[in-house]
């Protein structure tokens, strides 16, 4: 069973109908992308490379061009049947080999955060850093040598692959285990990503071929940030899954067949938040506990109209997750604010990353940072260290730490 998109998405809510983003020269991002296609970014310069600065959500221009060119019907890889055998979904708090990150070539604003992220990941496992080519690798090593004494470039696993954006969680490989008789084999589920970002969309297939890992491509439009699972086979997604695929039942069946989901829990999405990704307001901590964002935390009593409406949405999310059997704890959601890239920015503490004996938590230089770190420290086992990392720049583009990493078991 494969899913094919019949029409372009329309995920921008009416309240935020001006969903667009222009390149600095006035061209659309797609035009800039086409003009820069095939040009390797050497990682130098203050301005982001056109292929790097795309936000975590689809721009209006991308949607229009996808519909115009019927890109929804044209996958850059072959669709495949699901794995044969019992499939178990990825669980983030289990032991991991390391994490993929895509170096932000040409995006100087984000490089200090990436160096801090790589250093933190290397305390717990391997950093698998994706770059275009050997030349970019050498420039990144030079940056590490100059600015990151805690990083170990000799221990980085370098992956050479052209990509379009930094949002590795959303387009990167989603690992599953497949048990056939007594043998367990790892595999990769290749979710279908934004159709204009074809190099991103092809990355899991590229990695599968390079690493000799089986790849399963259902043709399911779902970003990795809108998927979480536990060891019991419960999988959590937001309602954005339905808006992205032409058949709701087939979308759920794909999660069951390709990920081994025994139960799919669908929660409401935030109003005005343009990714629709559940990791922006919810985090599974283990098979029993979950945290859900909360705009009505102590010290944040004066809510704007959007935050007030989303406070009600998050109450509903918490109720759905509790009904599914999780013990739910609320965590602060910093106030949203206006920004030219995202129209509205949604800082989130649930966009955190498990890295073996650590949890990397995005912070934003606001009063609620300390409250959020305290929530994690109270709920997590003592052997898991909570490590705050400043994500106040990257969040303006629609995501934080979870969005730019993905686990390798």
CA distance 103 to 71: 27
**Are 221 and 189 in contact, with CB atoms under 8 Å apart?**
no
Q: Which residues pair with 174 in a beta bridge?
A: 189
Helix/strand/coil for 362: strand
| Torsion sign across C-alpha atoms 283, 289, 295, 298 | negative
Side-chain half-sphere CA neighbours of 341 within 13 A: 18
Structural domains in the chain, sorted by start: 86-408 (3.75.10.10)
Q: What pLDDT, on the 0 to 100 scale, is given for residue 34? A: 32
Instruction: Write the CB contacts of 389 (distance below 8 Å, at least 6 apart in sequence).
Output: 113, 116, 117, 120, 360, 361, 362, 363, 401
φ and ψ at residue 120, rounded to 5 degrees: -65, -45
Q: What pLDDT, on the 0 to 100 scale, is given for residue 12? A: 32
Q: What pLDDT, on the 0 to 100 scale, is given for residue 35? A: 31
Q: What pLDDT, on the 0 to 100 scale, is given for residue 5? A: 39
**Burial of residue 182 (number of CB atoms within 10 Å: 0-12, 13-18, 19+):** exposed
The tens-digit pLDDT sequence of the chain (409 residues) is 554 433 333 333 222 222 222 332 222 333 333 333 334 444 443 344 455 689 999 998 898 988 887 877 778 899 999 999 999 999 999 999 999 999 999 899 999 999 999 999 999 999 999 999 999 999 999 999 999 999 999 999 999 999 999 999 999 999 999 998 888 899 999 999 999 999 999 999 999 999 999 999 999 999 999 999 999 999 999 999 998 898 999 999 999 999 999 999 999 999 999 999 999 999 999 999 999 999 998 777 678 899 999 999 999 999 999 999 999 999 999 999 998 777 899 999 999 999 999 999 999 999 999 999 999 999 999 999 999 999 999 999 999 999 999 999 9
Sequential DSSP letters for 281-346: TEEE-SSSEEEEEESS-TT-----HHHHHHHHHHHHHHHHHHHTT-EEEEEE-PPPEEETTTEEE-
Helix/strand/coil for 358: strand
Instruction: Write the CB contacts of 340 (distance below 8 Å, at least 6 apart in sequence).
Output: none
Helix/strand/coil for 207: helix
Q: What pLDDT, on the 0 to 100 scale, is given for residue 74? A: 79
Q: Which residues pair with 267 in a beta bridge?
A: 238
Instruction: Write the CB contacts of 311 (distance below 8 Å, at least 6 apart in sequence).
Output: 294, 295, 296, 303
């Amino acid at each position: 069973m494969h899913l094919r998109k019949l029409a372009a998405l329309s995920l921008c809510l009416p309240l935020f109908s001006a969903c667009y983003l222009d390149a600095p020269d006035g061209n659309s991002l797609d035009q800039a992308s086409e003009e820069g296609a095939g040009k390797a970014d050497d990682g130098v310069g203050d301005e982001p490379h056109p292929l790097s600065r795309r936000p975590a959500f689809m721009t209006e221009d991308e949607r229009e061009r996808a519909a115009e060119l019927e890109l929804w019907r044209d996958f850059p890889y072959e669709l495949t049947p699901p794995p044969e055998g019992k499939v178990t979904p990825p669980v983030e708090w289990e032991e991991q080999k390391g994490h993929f990150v895509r170096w932000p070539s040409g995006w100087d604003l984000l490089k200090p955060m990436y160096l801090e992220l790589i250093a933190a990941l290397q305390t717990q496992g391997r950093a698998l850093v994706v770059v275009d080519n050997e030349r970019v690798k050498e420039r990144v090593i030079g940056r590490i040598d100059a600015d990151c004494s805690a990083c170990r470039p000799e221990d980085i696993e370098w992956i050479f692959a052209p990509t379009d954006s930094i949002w590795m969680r959303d387009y990167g490989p989603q690992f599953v285990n497949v048990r056939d008789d007594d043998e367990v084999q790892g595999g990769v589920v290749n979710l279908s990503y934004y159709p204009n970002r074809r190099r991103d969309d092809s990355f899991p297939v590229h990695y599968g071929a390079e690493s000799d890992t089986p790849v399963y491509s259902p043709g399911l439009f779902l970003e990795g940030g809108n998927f979480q699972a536990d060891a019991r086979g419960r999988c959590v997604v937001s309602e954005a899954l339905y808006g992205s695929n032409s058949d709701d039942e087939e979308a759920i069946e794909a999660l069951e067949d390709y990920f081994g989901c025994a139960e799919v829990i669908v929660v409401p999405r935030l109003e005005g938040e343009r990714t629709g990704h559940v990791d922006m307001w919810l985090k599974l901590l283990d098979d029993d506990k979950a945290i859900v964002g909360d705009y009505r935390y102590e010290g944040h009593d004066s809510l704007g109209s959007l935050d007030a409406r989303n406070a009600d949405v998050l109450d509903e999310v918490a109720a759905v997750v509790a009904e599914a059997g999780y013990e739910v704890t609320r965590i602060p959601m910093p106030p949203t604010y206006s920004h030219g890239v995202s129209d509205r920015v949604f800082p989130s503490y649930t966009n955190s990353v498990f890295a073996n004996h650590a949890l990397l938590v995005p912070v934003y230089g606001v009063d609620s940072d300390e409250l959020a770190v305290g929530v994690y420290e109270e709920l997590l086992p003592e052997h898991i260290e909570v490590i705050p990392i400043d994500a106040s720049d990257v969040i303006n583009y629609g995501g934080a730490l979870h969005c730019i990493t993905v686990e390798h078991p």
